[in-house]
Structure 1
Amino acid sequence: MDRAPGTSVRLKLTLSYAGFLMVAGVLLLAAVWAFLLRYVPDRALIIPGSTGTSLHGVFPVRSSLLHVFAPRAAAVLALLLAFGLAGGWILAGRMLAPLTAVTDATRLATAGSLSHRIRLPGRRDEFRELADAFDTMLARLEAHVAEERRFAANASHELRTPLAISKALLDVARADPERDTGEVLDRLHAVNARAIGLTEALLLLSRAEQRSFTRERVDLSLVVEEATETLLPLAEEHGVTVEIRADLTPASGSPALLLQLTTNLVQNAIVHNLPRNGTVWVSTGPAPTGVVLTVENTGEPVPPRLLATLTEPFQRGSERVRTHHAGVGLGLAIVETITRAHDGTLTLTERPAGGLRVTVELPAADPPPDRRRTG
C-alpha cells in the first residue's frame, strides 16, 4: 500500500535515546542541586583573614552558588545532548541492522529471487527469530513455486500428448482415405477420453486445494461399499479379490471428495497388483485422534525411493506392475490433496510381502445432537 513519507525508525530511536539521556541528566543535576541546598546555608558570615581576604560581613551563599552551578549544569546538559544524539544514532543503526537485512531479502523476493537467505548470525533473539522465520518462509515458497512449475510443465506435457496423437491420427486418415475409419474413430475416442479424464482430474485437484466444500457427516463404511461396488468389474477384469472390513465410521468432510479419495485408492490397489490372484483389503474404523481408512494390496515390492514420490503429480509408479489401465498419474496426488483439505494425514508404507498399504486418517464427525444430550 502507498504511504506518505515519515520519520525513519532510526531517527526516532536516536531522539528517544537522547531524550532519555537528557531526562536522566536533568534529574541527576536536580538531585545534586537539592543536596547542595540542603547542606549549604543561605547566608554565611565571613571573618576578615579567614579566607585570605580583608572582606567581612554576611554574604548570600546560595545565590552565589547558583551563579556558578547553572552555567556548568547547562554545559553538562549540552554535552549529554550531543553524546546522546551521536551515541543513539550509532546504537540505533546497530540495533536495526538485522531489519535492514530482512528488508533487502524481502525486496529480492519481491523481484522473484527466492533462493536468497538472510542467515543472520549470533545468538537467538527477537530479530534472529524473525530472520529465521523469514528464511523458512522463503524456503517453503521456493519449494512451492518449484512444485507448481513442475506441475504446470507435466500437465502441459500430459495434455499435449493426446492432442498430438489426435492430430497424427487425423493426418493419417486424411493421407489415406481408403483406411478403415472405424479404427481411427475408436483410437480417437480412446485418446479423447484420456484427455477428458486428465482435465477432470486437474479440475478436481484444483477444487480440493481450494477447500471449497461444506463439511458433512459421512460414514466411511458406506463410501467404501459404494466405491468397491463401482470398481467390481475392474477387479474381475484384473483377477483381483476385494475384501472389505468396514465398521460404522463417521467422518467429517465432503461426501463427493471422500468418495473420490476412496475410489482412487481402491482403483490404484486393483491396477497395481499381481498379474493374477491378487487381493485388495479395505477397512475402516476408529483411530486415537479420529477415524482411519486403510487400503492394502498384494503386488511386487515397492522400492523406498519410489515410495517417497508416489504422491507427486504424474507419478505412475513406473517400476510397479504395468497395465493398460495406467491412469493419468494423478490418483495418489488427488488423494493427498483431498486428505490435506480435510485436515487429515496420508501414510504410505510397503507391505513386507509386497504391495502397498495406504492409511488415511481423518477427523471424526461430531456425535448427533440427540446422542450428545443423552450422553
Structure 2
Amino acid sequence: MARAPGLSIRLKLALSYAGFLMLAGVLVLGVVWVYLVRNVPDGRAPRAPGGPPFAGQEFLLRGFVSAVGTALVFLLVFGLLGGWILAGHMLAPLTRITDATRAAANGSLAHRIRLEGSNDEFRELADAFDAMLARLEAHVAEQRRFAANASHELRTPLAITRTLLDVARNDPGQDPGELVDRLHTVNTRAINLTEALLVLSRADQRTFVRRPVDLSLLAEEAIETLLPLAEKRGVTIDNSGEIATASGSPALLLQMTTNLLHNAIVHNLPDKGTVSIETGVGPGTVVLTVENTGEVLSPQWVSTLTEPFQRGSERIRHDHAGVGLGLAIVKRITDVHDGSLTILPRPAGGLRIAVRLPAPPPPRT
C-alpha cells in the first residue's frame, strides 16, 4: 500500500515529550507568577540608573518575564534532546522486531529476535513473533517434505505404468488380460493417492460450516461401509458407546472415522483380529476411540504415524496398504476441528487411537 511520507515515531515521541515538558514548565511558572503577584507589595522599587522609580509589581514583571523566557527556551531544548534520546532507547526493541520482520519477508524464517531483559509489551511482542516464526518454519519444512514425498509417490505409479506399456510393446505375445489387470491396479492406486491429497488439502482450508455431528452415527456408517473388508480379512468389529455430539463438518468427520476404522482393519492380525470402536462424552469434549489387535509396535515408530506417507515395511507389501495418508488425514481433520489425537501402542500388539473433539455449547434457553 502506497502511503504519504510522515514523521517518524521517534520524532513524534520527542516532540510529545518536549511539548509535555513545556506545558508543565508553563504551569509551574504560572503558579509562581500568581504567587509573587499576590504577595509582593505594590510599593516603590529602587529606581533604575537614569530612570524614574516604578512600582514593585512593574519591577517584578520586567525581571521575571525575562527569566521565564530563558527557562522556557532551556526546557524546549532539553525536552527535544532528552525526548529524542529516550525515544530512541525505548524504540530500540521495535527496531529489532522490524529487522526480523523484513528478514522473514525475504524468506529467512530461521532468524529469531530473542529480546533479552524483563517482561514488558515489547518483549511479549518479540516472544510472540519468535513463536510465530518457529511455527512458520516448521510448517514450511513440513510442506516441503510433503511435496517431495507426494511427488515421489505420484511418480511411482506413473513409472510402473510406463514400464508395463514398454514391456507390452516389446512383447506382443504377452497376455493382454494380465497387462490390463496390472494397469488397473496401478491406476487405482494413483487415483486413491490423488483423492487423498485432495481431502488433505480441503481439510487444511477450514472453509467448512460447523454443524452438530453424532460420532456414534458416523461410527455405524463407517462400519457398514467397511464390513465386507473386515469379513474378508477375518476381523471382528465391536461397536459400543453413547451419543457423542461434536461440532464440525459431517463429511470430514466421516472421512476421519472411516480412515481410523480402515487403518484398524487393514493393519491387524492375519486371522481372527479384532477392532473395537467406542464413543463417549467427557467434560466439555467427546471422544472417539478405536483399538485393534496387531503387531507389537515401538512407541518411537508409532509417534511418526501421522507423518504423510509414513508406512512400515509390512504395510508397503500389503494389498490394502493404502497410500500412507490415512492417519495424516485424521490428524489434519482433528486439528481443524480444534481437537487432539492420541496414538498409543497396545502392550499385546496393535494400536489404541483416541480422538477428542470439543463438545458444542449447550443451546440457549
User: Shorter-chain-normalised TM-score: which range?
Assistant: over 0.9
Structure 2: how far apart are the matches of 1:11 and 1:362? 51
Aligned-residue identity in percent:
67
Aligned 8 A contact 1:301 1:351 in 2: yes
Give the direction of change, closer, same or farther, for the CA distance of 1:328–1:45 in structure 2 (3 Å limit): closer
Give the direction of change, closer, same or farther, for the CA distance of 1:246–1:59 in structure 2 (3 Å limit): closer
User: 2:312 matched to 1:324?
Assistant: no
Which residue number corresponds to residue 275 of structure 1?
270
Using the TM superposition, give the Cα deviation of residue 39 of structure 1 relative to its aligned residue in structure 2, in angstroms.
2.5
Residues 248-287 of structure 1 mapped to structure 2, 5 A cutoff: 248-287=243-282
Structure 1: how far apart are the matches of 2:315 and 2:174? 37
Counterpart of 1:327 in 2: which secondary structure? Answer: coil
Aligned 8 A contact 1:313 1:333 in 2: yes
Using the TM superposition, give the Cα deviation of residue 238 of structure 1 relative to its aligned residue in structure 2, in angstroms.
2.5
User: 2:33 matched to 1:33?
Assistant: yes
CA-atom RMSD in angstroms: 2.5
Which residue number corresponds to residue 232 of structure 1?
227
Higher deviation after alignment, 123-132 or 300-309: 300-309
Higher deviation after alignment, 81-90 or 194-203: 81-90
Which residue number corresponds to residue 68 of structure 1?
63
User: 2:7 matched to 1:7?
Assistant: yes
Counterpart of 2:247 in 1: which secondary structure? Answer: strand
Higher deviation after alignment, 195-204 or 67-76: 67-76
Per-residue CA deviations over 1:200-246 (Å, capped at 9, x if unaligned) read 01111111222333333433223222212222232233332221214
Structure 2: how far apart are the matches of 1:36 and 1:342? 74
Q: TM-score, normalised by structure 1?
A: 0.90
Per-residue CA deviations over 1:291-341 (Å, capped at 9, x if unaligned) read 221100112222121122111111124477963221100001111122223
Aligned 8 A contact 1:249 1:291 in 2: yes
Which residue number corresponds to residue 181 of structure 2?
186
Which residue number corresponds to residue 296 of structure 1?
291
Give the direction of change, closer, same or farther, for the CA distance of 1:365–1:179 in structure 2 (3 Å limit): same
Structure 2: how far apart are the matches of 1:36 and 1:249? 82
Aligned 8 A contact 1:274 1:321 in 2: no
Using the TM superposition, give the Cα deviation of residue 98 of structure 1 relative to its aligned residue in structure 2, in angstroms.
0.9
Which residue number corresponds to residue 354 of structure 1?
349
Give the direction of change, closer, same or farther, for the CA distance of 1:84–1:316 in structure 2 (3 Å limit): same
Which residue number corresponds to residue 160 of structure 1?
155
Which residue number corresponds to residue 77 of structure 1?
72
Query: Of residues 87, 98, 102 in structure 1, which corresponds to 2:97?
Result: 102
Aligned 8 A contact 2:246 2:357 in 1: yes
Using the TM superposition, give the Cα deviation of residue 138 of structure 1 relative to its aligned residue in structure 2, in angstroms.
0.8
Which residue number corresponds to residue 176 of structure 1?
171
Give the direction of change, closer, same or farther, for the CA distance of 1:29–1:254 in structure 2 (3 Å limit): closer
Aligned 8 A contact 1:301 1:355 in 2: yes
User: 2:192 matched to 1:204?
Assistant: no
Structure 2: how far apart are the matches of 1:136 and 1:142? 10
Give the direction of change, closer, same or farther, for the CA distance of 1:220–1:70 in structure 2 (3 Å limit): closer
Higher deviation after alignment, 35-44 or 212-221: 212-221
Tell me which structure has the larger Cα radius of gyration.
1
Structure 1: how far apart are the matches of 2:195 and 2:35? 88
Aligned 8 A contact 1:10 1:92 in 2: yes
Give the direction of change, closer, same or farther, for the CA distance of 1:218–1:126 in structure 2 (3 Å limit): closer
Using the TM superposition, give the Cα deviation of residue 88 of structure 1 relative to its aligned residue in structure 2, in angstroms.
0.9
Aligned 8 A contact 1:272 1:322 in 2: no
* Matching residue's letter, 2:331: E
Which residue number corresponds to residue 113 of structure 1?
108
Counterpart of 1:44 in 2: which secondary structure? Answer: coil
Structure 2: how far apart are the matches of 1:224 and 1:348? 18
Structure 2: tracts of 5 or more residues without a match: none
Structure 1: how far apart are the matches of 2:60 and 2:75? 22
Structure 1: how far apart are the matches of 2:360 and 2:41? 87
Structure 2: how far apart are the matches of 1:63 and 1:143? 77
Which residue number corresponds to residue 20 of structure 1?
20
Give the direction of change, closer, same or farther, for the CA distance of 1:301–1:146 in structure 2 (3 Å limit): same
> When the two structures are aligned, how many residues end up with a matched partner?
364
User: 2:252 matched to 1:247?
Assistant: no
Give the direction of change, closer, same or farther, for the CA distance of 1:37–1:336 in structure 2 (3 Å limit): same
Structure 1: how far apart are the matches of 2:45 and 2:191? 113
Structure 2: how far apart are the matches of 1:37 and 1:12? 37
Using the TM superposition, give the Cα deviation of residue 144 of structure 1 relative to its aligned residue in structure 2, in angstroms.
0.9
Aligned 8 A contact 1:221 1:247 in 2: yes
Residues 120-159 of structure 1 mapped to structure 2, 5 A cutoff: 120-159=115-154
Using the TM superposition, give the Cα deviation of residue 67 of structure 1 relative to its aligned residue in structure 2, in angstroms.
1.9
Aligned 8 A contact 2:18 2:80 in 1: yes
Aligned 8 A contact 2:245 2:359 in 1: yes
Counterpart of 2:4 in 1: which secondary structure? Answer: coil
User: 2:332 matched to 1:333?
Assistant: no
Aligned 8 A contact 1:300 1:321 in 2: no
Give the direction of change, closer, same or farther, for the CA distance of 1:11–1:180 in structure 2 (3 Å limit): same
Structure 1: how far apart are the matches of 2:238 and 2:45? 117
